[in-house]
Structure 1
């Protein structure tokens, strides 16, 4: 069933205002989406009725907050096709999720002379963590070259990813170019070479069906604020066996 644009607009309170004498037209949703009434009301209801620490108490409010938290984890797992809810880690956003992987998994599994492979199209969130990890570990940071139209050629990926590669990290969809990368094929190349596949899903998750098991990625990160959720909410998906082997860090 299609929804008329005006009816959809009514679901977003912030769009009911005028700026400089004109109705607000918001064109920056790729950076951060506005929040519909249903999300705002859910937040209001929580703070008015269920506000308590999660996993910290057995009183009524604590139990309700914990149930809501774990139900959200279950829904996110289903939304991205994770095998189990324990593979969903809540974070502050995509940047925190990617830093967590670099600081925990990367720090433990990347050594001197090893390779980390990314692309020139990465957002800073998926660039700086790997630059810093490579610097600290004296590893080699490599880039899969781009074609003139901005796409990745899998033949170039085959040449760039080698047996020395420990991590391949790339965006599913570029925030600048709009390119949709062949994640499933890149993951297969990474795995053939003994590397793990890390995906920045900040731009893809709001717009595409995502199935992390079908893609066979090892880590997948995205933010809520780009898909109508509150600011400061993010997700890190990780395969259970990898998450269980990671050292805890102070995030």
Structure 2
């Protein structure tokens, strides 16, 4: 299981370890007793209990069987799978290709009613043009050495954008001004993308804020993240894709979003920054 920068992943690992420890104590067994019963090196049970070694499904079954708690194994295995799924390396997430990785997110978008998105790297996927998406995904495919199914992935992302126009969904997008000035796909692609942002900002269910570049900010740029209702946060890191479902951590991202939103400009001021970026693109 890959190390994650999120404390929520570590907390979930510790919760699993604590439950295994409780089962052992209730059975009146020591860590050495567990290791002996399971046929492990004596240090393995200690590493598991201290959340240093993630237990496999087989480890959990052996632990519970040795403690006379076979009925708890299924629940703990499910918890272990949830922890394992909180942080997914890109190579694992995209091993079946970019297309399937894009398609897999559609159910989450369909069940969400309130979207909050902050981006310091790229224009958020829901408001990208086809040309911008194609350029970005081609770059990702090349950098990560993936199979070339970019057109399938682009089509999946474009299909997902229908949620902008369906139902009673609300969208709040925040982008750093630097995103407007970061070239993706060349002059014409960037000009088209920036023009699309102006169009999107006029939708009644969409709020588009631009956080201006300035020398005196007291809230620094952060990693890009999405908040889906109040149920889930996804963070795109250099190393992988992080899913957060702990309410306390979701509230921290919601607070960060509010702080960044307070720095942003909207309406005519945002359009002015976008228009200025278009002018620079054509200059």
**TM-score normalized by the length of structure 2:** 0.27
Structure with more of its chain in helix, by fraction: 2
The higher relative CO (CA closer than 8 Å, separation ≥ 6) is in 1
Bigger radius of gyration: 2
